[in-house]
Amino acid sequence: MPRLNVYLSEDVYALAKRRRDSANLSDICARAIRDELSANETYRSAAGLLAKLRSPSDIELELAKRFGLKDVRVAGITDASETRDAIGRAAAKYLDWIVCDGSLLACAGGRQMWCMVRNLSPRRVRTTITALGLHRADPQLLHAHPNTLATLLSLLYAPRSAAHVIGETGGADAWRSSLPMRPHPSYFVISSCSLFERESQFADLLGHTAADRAIKLGACVDFAYNFLDEHGNEISLPIDSPAFKLGLQALKDLSKREDARVVLVAGGIEKSGAINTALKTTACNTLITDTITAARLIEKGGG
């Protein structure tokens, strides 16, 4: 049987020594080596290359040009009732394609994000996942809360991923430190957007006092937990509850980088105004939407 000498650092050796009787170290090493080498081969395979060479549609090219976007994915739909599911599948396919080893991933909450996460493929990818949002839980939409989604993502990417939830500092520290330049996209922020109204579920989660103050200041759109007025200007709103968010300027700075993708995942005619406002802030550089919403965005003029 062929042999390969493998060097183990002191901490890994100590762990391996404790588990020697209960784990087959040869199998573990073989799986790890196979994963790494297979990933490299897949990256260079015909399927991987063709995925990268996928020709954008005319409407995707038009949206990218009008809003200065790096990536656009438009999901085909024939009925408005399919919108959320179609966009969720398209967003999951995009993440399956682009998330890589050594990446940082910040994921917001909401029903559109839940639809994306439940369509993702399990992968053994080394990534650090941070819940983007506020409060530790949402009693009305527990399954769509960012803490729940970050936990599900870490399970999908297990055992090589790590998750940081709202209320602890690890995930925030990862994003607030200086992010080194990478040769390929490695930093991902994923969020939906919506019209901000006093009767909305998000306003209820935010709390009556904060929601009333936001509306009084002119907030009418929220994107990645940033509140915007009708012109796309950020409205500063102190949040007392446990929270983690990347401010509008931080998102703009990330969007300028070739190694980062700030992804807006949203669709539906009722959201087209909010999407248009979020895009005009230049705080996102990737859009995943549906054909009907895409046509409406182009019709509005954008840019």
Question: Which CATH number fits the domain that encloses residue 203?
Answer: 3.40.50.1360
Q: Evaluate if residue 49 carries a pLDDT over 70.
A: no
Split at pLDDT 50, 70, 90, the class of 16 is confident
Q: Are residues 142 and 48 in the same domain?
A: no
Backbone angles phi, psi at 102, to 5 degrees: 80, 15
Answer for the pair 126, 102: CB distance below 8 angstroms, yes or no.
Answer: yes
Q: Are residues 145 and 92 in the same domain?
A: yes
Give residue 22's domain range.
8-54
Q: Are residues 161 and 259 in the same domain?
A: yes
Q: Are residues 107 and 208 in the same domain?
A: yes
Interior CA angle at 127 toward 126 and 132, to 5°? Answer: 165
In a domain, 293, yes or no: yes
Q: Are residues 49 and 194 in the same domain?
A: no
Who's near 8: CB < 8 A, 6+ residues apart?
16
Answer for the pair 156, 120: CB distance below 8 angstroms, yes or no.
Answer: yes
Least confident stretch, 91-95, 238-242, 267-271: 238-242
Q: Are residues 32 and 127 in the same domain?
A: no
Q: Are residues 89 and 62 in the same domain?
A: yes
Q: Evaluate if residue 40 carries a pLDDT over 70.
A: no
In a domain, 1, yes or no: no
Q: Are residues 248 and 237 in the same domain?
A: yes
Spatial distance between the Cα atoms of 61 and 113, rounded to a whole number of angstroms: 24
Answer for the pair 267, 84: CB distance below 8 angstroms, yes or no.
Answer: yes
Who's near 195: CB < 8 A, 6+ residues apart?
220, 221, 270, 271, 273, 274
Residue predicted with more confidence, 186 or 208: 186
* Mean pLDDT of the 204-232 span: 91
Residue 167: CB atoms within 10 A of its CB come to 15
- The bridge status of strand 243-244 relative to strand 260-265 is unpaired
| pLDDT score for 289 | 98
pTM of the complete model: 0.82
- Across 3-7, 186-190, 194-198, which has the greatest mean pLDDT? 186-190
In a domain, 3, yes or no: no
* Mean pLDDT of the 258-262 span: 98
* Tally of domains within the chain: 2
Residue predicted with more confidence, 16 or 118: 118
| pLDDT score for 184 | 94
Q: Are residues 129 and 249 in the same domain?
A: yes
In the chain, how long is the greatest CA-to-CA distance? 73
Of the chain, the percentage scoring pLDDT greater than 70 comes to: 88
Of the chain, the percentage scoring pLDDT greater than 90 comes to: 63
Q: Are residues 99 and 215 in the same domain?
A: yes
Q: Are residues 129 and 266 in the same domain?
A: yes
Q: Evaluate if residue 274 carries a pLDDT over 60.
A: yes
Q: Is residue 11 left, alpha or beta, with left meaning phi > 0 and alpha meaning psi from -120 to 50? A: alpha
| pLDDT score for 41 | 45
